[in-house]
Amino acid sequence: MTDSNPSFLGRISLAVGTFFSILGDGNFAASVLRLRHGGATAPMPAPAAPAPAPAPRPAPTLKEARPDAALQLLGLLQRDARFIDFVEEDIKNYSDADIGAAARLVHDGCRATLREHFTIRPVRDEAEGSRVTLAEGFDASSIRLTGNVVGKAPFNGSISHRGWRVDEVRLPKLTDSHNAKVIAPAEVEL
């Protein structure tokens, strides 16, 4: 590509780069506007020295999740609520009333299991629909921004879901010989 006749792809790159330069730099935008109207462009002021880049954050370390606790929870949900039986059942031939009755039993059992083994609290105490302001530095691991997310904090918005966090876990201790992969043993009636 030459400066006097850029290729099509070169023109696309130039257009995109110019677009963002116009949005981000008022002096550059004024120069482009003068050029479009046939005027001479004033020499561009020397760019200011770039601000020092913030120190890079260290890459997050990934820890391997141990499946035993998840498998144990599945076993408790199966034992107390028949959760896996319900989810694995082909329900297309059942009436909505039958599914609703079964769902009520599964719901009650799952709720009881969660309450027995976990202390679960909302992330936000405000009611859903409440207006809130999130200051700079809010905990992005416990609050997800949705909708038209533009700019930097502070953000003003409405709570669409209060979120959940676990304050305490009370899973039973397992013996070394326990096979957590068997979440519900097969039953053989004699």
Predicted confidence (pLDDT) per residue in 42-81, tens digit: 555 566 667 777 778 788 888 887 888 899 999 999 999 9
Using CA atoms, how far apart are residues 176 and 173, in angstroms rounded to an integer? 10
What is the pTM (predicted TM-score) of this model?
0.61
How far apart are the two ends of the chain, measured CA to CA in Å?
84
1 pLDDT tier (thresholds 50, 70, 90):
very low
pLDDT above 50 for 19: yes
Partners of 168 in the beta sheet?
Answer: 119
How much is the pLDDT for 83? 94
Asked if 81 and 110 count as a contact pair (C-beta separation under 8 A), the reply is yes
Q: Mean pLDDT across the stretch 120-145?
A: 94
- Residue 127 confidence class, pLDDT cut points 50, 70, 90: very high
User: Tens of pLDDT along 70-119?
Assistant: 999 999 999 999 999 999 999 999 999 999 999 999 999 999 999 999 99
Rounded mean pLDDT, 9-16: 65
Return d(Cα 98, Cα 110) in angstroms, integer. Answer: 18
Quote the tokens at residue 155.
Answer: 């953000």
Tell me which long-range contacts 50-54 makes (C-beta under 8 A, separation of at least 24): none
